[in-house]
Amino acid sequence: MSEFDLTIRNGTVVTDSEQATGDIGVKDGVIAAMAESLAPGARDIDASGKLVLPGGIDGHCHIEQLSSFGILNADDFYSATVSAAHGGTTTVVPFAAQHRGQSVTQVVAAYRALAEEKAIIDYHFHIIVTDPTPEVLENELPPLIAEGFRTLKIFMTYDLMRIDDYQLLQVLEVAREHGALIVAHAENNDMIRWASERLIDQGHTAPKFHAISHPRLAEAEAVHRAIVLARFIDVPILIFHVTTREAMEEIRRAQDAGLKVYGETCPQYLFLTAEDLDRPDTQGAKFCCSPPPRDKSDQEAMWQGLADNTFQVFNSDHAPYRYDETGKLSAGPNPTFKQIANGLPGLELRLPLLFSEGVVKGRIDASRFVALTSTNMARLYGLYPGKGTLAEGSDADIAIWDPEAETKVTDETTHDLTGYTPFEGWTVTGWPKTVISRGRVIVDNGVLDAERGSGRLAKRELADLAKPLGRLEPEMDAARNFGVQMLR
């Protein structure tokens, strides 16, 4: 009997820091050995000429999530994870979304049950906190954080989701005391409200005005404020979906000052612009997301941020809504921009787009690609080293890439249920031909072989940066002037 269940041979193995040609041996779902040459496995995959990468981790995606308007995403945990797997992603971290009045404990249990029944790859959850009552803050969140739900998402905008600055301080305090990372949707709600009301009053209701109604300064202001509040309580923070140069510069300034501030951007901010919202008829609705795509110079800024480590992570923000009465057009065929559900699909194309436009075009190298799409997520979320790398003892979550394969993107060939792709007609170079989840070959040359419900809740340890800093002692900490000194 062979020593390994699976051997991957002669590939170029890439981690976030190294590249080497060699073999990987897998046993019982785990990487059992890595060497220049290993004995044959029960199944052998020849990866000559291919890149062997850790499977992607999509650390920001909305799956089977009910919006505050009561609209459900187009994908459920089956279709979303099938789609993710076809694009080389082997772990997803979507949301357990609390709506006001709900128990966070019950919300987490409900989302877990959905994933348990349907997901084909491994998963964990961020908890969205929209109603930080004393019960939630004192009794519900601490045991959930201890159990592994170590990321709390907060919204600074959306009338039905946002928390105010005082509430944000309370959530930051819980994160500090119990060891969680705050992830933030940072846009100034009142600036958006002010702009939106004036646009609508003047009859400017078409999808393209969605972009104008989310002013770039609204993002920079909220990013700055989120960073200041996190600094005040002295906890790390990850700013989600950064879109503008100004917001990126706020993050960079904080990092230069030694603060534990992290940043994310997403495919829509590299590859789309506000002009896409001005497509004929109401087709622009397909491109409405928040924050909105900006302009070419912001795209360049986002590339810089990915290359120079202002951004540590690149996620899809997959939030699919069909272009029909169940989704984008739920308010009728001619909705105002305020009535259009926000979000785009992205789970499947996140990695191929970044590989093609980033690695193949020389903007980032393959190790940076791995860092941005997998390793850094694992480190920030406490999934490392079980996920996010190729090392003995890590889960055998692996994507074997053909770096030269050319693929034409069409809705017919993508596997989510959105019914359109924002990237229709694009050609991408590089595709993950074989995708392996805990040693199971789940996609091979476009053919899926995975059972519904075969994904598992991933193991999540306490990430270094989320180690509890302890209860705030106001006098003492004030004397120390809160902030960067304490983190050094």
Q: Is 265 helix (H, G, I), strand (E, B) or coil?
A: strand
Dist. CA 375–CA 295, nearest whole Å: 29
Does 343 bind ligand DUC (CB under 6 A)? Our answer is: yes
In this structure, the dihedral spanned by the alpha carbons of residues 447, 448, 449 and 450, taken in order and rounded to 10 degrees, is 170
**Whose Cβ is closer to Zn ion: residue 154's or residue 398's?**
154
Largest Cα–Cα distance of the chain, in whole Å?
Answer: 75
Considering Cα of 13, then 18, then 20, then 26, what sign does the dihedral take? Answer: negative
Among Zn ion, ligand DUC, none, residue 301 binds (CB under 5-8 Å by kind): none
Which of Zn ion, ligand DUC, none does 394 bind, CB closer than 5 to 8 A by kind? none
Host H or E run for residue 441: strand 440-444
Residue with smaller CB distance to ligand DUC, 237 or 399: 237
Q: Smallest distance from the beta carbon of 355 to Zn ion, in angstroms?
A: 22
The minimum distance between CB 69 and ligand DUC, in angstroms, equals 12
Asked if 380 and 59 count as a contact pair (C-beta separation under 8 A), the reply is: yes
Nearest approach, Cβ of residue 161 and ligand DUC (Å): 8
Site for Zn ion in 177-196 (CB under 5 A): 185
289 is an interface residue for ligand DUC by CB under 6 A: yes
User: Which residues have C-beta within 8 Å of that of residue 288, sequence separation ≥ 6?
Assistant: 207, 210, 277, 328, 337, 340, 341, 342, 343
The nearest distance, CB 312 to ligand DUC, in angstroms, is 19
Cβ proximity to Zn ion, 150 vs 185, nearer residue: 185
CB 91 within 8 A of CB 121: yes
- Indicate the residue among 290 and 421 with the shorter CB distance to ligand DUC: 290
What is the distance in angstroms between the CA of the first residue and the CA of the last residue of the chain?
Answer: 53
**Whole-number minimum distance, CB 342 to ligand DUC, in Å?**
4
Q: Considering the complex, state which of residue 185 and residue 368 has its C-beta at the smaller distance from Zn ion.
A: 185
Q: Which does 170 bind (CB under 5 to 8 A by kind): Zn ion, ligand DUC, none?
A: none
If one asks whether residue 370 binds ligand DUC (CB under 6 A), the answer comes out as no
**Are 177 and 171 in contact, with CB atoms under 8 Å apart?**
no
- Smaller CB separation from ligand DUC, 259 or 266: 266
Indicate which of ligand DUC, Zn ion, none lies near residue 342 (CB less than 5 to 8 Å, by partner kind).
ligand DUC
Q: How far apart are CA 319 and CA 251, in angstroms?
A: 25
| In the complex, least distance from residue 343 CB atom to ligand DUC, rounded to whole angstroms | 3
Q: How far apart are CA 226 and CA 243, in angstroms?
A: 16
62 binds ligand DUC (CB under 6 A): yes
Region 302-321 residues binding ligand DUC, contact defined as CB under 6 A:
317, 319
What, of ligand DUC, Zn ion, none, does residue 289 touch, CB below 5 to 8 Å by kind?
ligand DUC
* Beta strands across the sheet bearing 151-155: 95-97, 126-128, 151-155, 181-185, 237-239, 261-265, 313-314
User: Which 8-state DSSP code applies to residue 139?
Assistant: I
The Cα 62–Cα 153 span in angstroms is 12
Closest contact distance (angstroms) between CB of 251 and ligand DUC is 18
Give me the least distance between CB of 131 and ligand DUC, in Å please. 17
Nearest to 302 by CA among 219, 256, 245, 343: 245
CA distance 200 to 211: 13
Which residue's C-beta sits nearest to ligand DUC? Answer: 289
Conformation bin of residue 388: beta by default, left when phi > 0, alpha when psi is -120 to 50: left
Nearest distance, CB of residue 174 and ligand DUC, angstroms: 22
Residue 282 as a binder of ligand DUC (CB under 6 A): the answer is no
Q: How many residues bind Zn ion (CB under 5 A)?
A: 2
Asked whether position 342 contacts ligand DUC by CB under 6 A, the answer is yes
Closest CB 477 distance from ligand DUC, rounded Å:
32
Which residue number, 53 or 192, has a Cβ lying nearer to Zn ion?
192
Give the binding-site size for ligand DUC (rule: CB under 6 A): 8
| Of 162 and 363, CB closest to ligand DUC | 162
Under rule CB under 5 A, which residues in 307-336 are in contact with Zn ion?
317
Pick one of Zn ion, ligand DUC, none as the site partner of residue 13 (Cβ within 5 to 8 A by kind). Answer: none
Q: Which of residues 172-191 bind ligand DUC (CB under 6 A)?
A: 185
Q: What is the 3-state secondary structure (H, E, C) of 1-42?
A: CCCCCEEEEEEEEECCCCEEEEEEEEECCEEEEEECCCCCCC
- 7 contacts which partner out of ligand DUC, Zn ion, none, CB within 5 to 8 A by kind? none
Q: Does 58 bind Zn ion (CB under 5 A)?
A: no
Task: Name the residue nearer to ligand DUC (CB basis): 164 or 256.
Answer: 164
Give min distance, CB of 293 to Zn ion, in A. 14
Look up residue 374 and give its DSSP letter. Answer: I
- Encoding tokens for residue 203? 């009859």
Closest CA to 132 of 177, 172, 95, 94: 172
Give contact residues for Zn ion (rule: CB under 5 A): 185, 317
Give contact residues for ligand DUC (rule: CB under 6 A): 62, 185, 289-290, 317, 319, 342-343
